[in-house]
Structure 1
Amino acid sequence: MKRLVAVLWRLIKGPLQWRALWIWHAKFMVGVTGVVRDADGRVLLLKHRLWPEGRQWGLPTGYANKSETFEDTVVREVREETGLEVRATRLLHLKSGYKLRVEVFYEAELVGGTLSIDSTEVLEAEWVSLDSLPPGLQETHRHLIEQTAPPPPPSGWGGGRGCDA
């Protein structure tokens, strides 16, 4: 049987092979989340209107559109939800295992714009330091923020003023 399948596979070639693979395999939605920090190291948090009560705080997030790169999804979602312009910089985490969803997490650098929330999706937006993360923050987001926080300056660091010689 396997030999017959292999012969048929070689016969159909190109686009028909891709169509067969598409029909045969699972389809997934891809949720993309951005960890956006400002120049002071604070992280952008949103209180999402459509998330469960008591767990509404989280990072900017949304689903990838067909033919959109994940980096472009981060840029688009942050702009749609907050009016801010960002640049996706580093893939932080990729998580699968949900029924029909894959989660992708990127670090993103603030490059411009003015904070202005889309009230259909977002109730509030705040720049928050690591020591003032709000209750009701999604645990996966809290963990990601803590794991990617910039390291504190070394003890006795003079803030870039130079050394006394």
Structure 2
Amino acid sequence: MMELALKFWKLIPGKPQWYVLWLTQPKFIIGVSGVIFDEHKRILLLRHRFWKAASWGLPGGFVLSGEKLEEALCREVREETNYIVEIDALLRMVSGYRLRLEVSFVGRLIGGELCLDPKEISEARFFDFDQLPEGLLPSHRELIALALSRFP
């Protein structure tokens, strides 16, 4: 059976091979998040309307087809806050979730005036590390600590 599949595979050219892969392989999404610092080394946190009430978290979202990971995070921050950010480094990549891969970056604010997307975000603020708010997602608290330890 495997030999027959291999012969078939060699008969079909490039693009149809991708369609076969798409149809036969598991699907998953890629999420991005970022520890974004302002010029005072404060961290940008958001209250997302889709999360539990009173919780805070890092900016982020999902990668669109064909989009670079860093571009996805910059787009998400811009859509949610109107801030312009620059990505400095990859912070962490976590797999093992059933349907997604999470990629986190460190970046910094380089422009824009705060203008929230009210459909997604109810509040956005910069916080000093020693004054992070109650309700901050534990995984995001970890990412912030990791960013500060690697990029003091």
Matched, 1:126 2:125: yes
Which position in structure 2 is the counterpart of 1:161?
A: none
Distance 1:92 1:40 in 2: 20
Post-superposition offset of 1:116: 2.0
Distance 1:119 1:108 in 2: 23
Name the SS for the 2:8 alignment partner: helix
Which position in structure 1 is the counterpart of 2:51?
A: 51
Distance 1:16 1:122 in 2: 41
Task: Write the deviation string for residues 38-88 of structure 1: whole angstroms up to 9, x where unpaired.
Answer: 11111000111110124x200011111121111111111111111110112
Distance 1:13 1:121 in 2: 43
Post-superposition offset of 1:33: 0.7
Distance 2:18 2:80 in 1: 35
Query: Structure 2 matches for 1:64-103, cutoff 5 A?
Result: 64-103=63-102
Distance 1:72 1:92 in 2: 15
Structure 2 alignment gaps of length 5 or more: none
Normalised by the length of structure 1, the TM-score is 0.85
Task: Write the deviation string for residues 65-114 of structure 1: whole angstroms up to 9, x where unpaired.
Answer: 12111111111111111111011221111112222121111112211111
Larger Rg: 1
Which position in structure 2 is the counterpart of 1:140?
A: 139
Count of matched residue positions in the alignment of Structure 1 and Structure 2: 150
Which position in structure 2 is the counterpart of 1:159?
A: none
Name the SS for the 1:148 alignment partner: helix
Distance 2:95 2:2 in 1: 30
Name the SS for the 1:8 alignment partner: helix
Q: Which amino acid in structure 1 is aligned with residue 68 of structure 2?
A: T
Distance 2:114 2:15 in 1: 45
Which position in structure 1 is the counterpart of 2:109?
A: 110
Which portions of structure 1, spanning 4 or more consecutive aligned residues, are displaced by more than 6 angstroms? Answer: none
Which position in structure 1 is the counterpart of 2:29?
A: 29
Percent identical pairs in the alignment equals 44
CA RMSD in angstroms comes to 1.3
Which position in structure 2 is the counterpart of 1:16?
A: 16
Task: Write the deviation string for residues 3-31 of structure 1: whole angstroms up to 9, x where unpaired.
Answer: 22222211113112111111111111211
Identify, as 1 or 2, the structure richer in helix: 2
Structure 1 alignment gaps of length 5 or more: 152-165
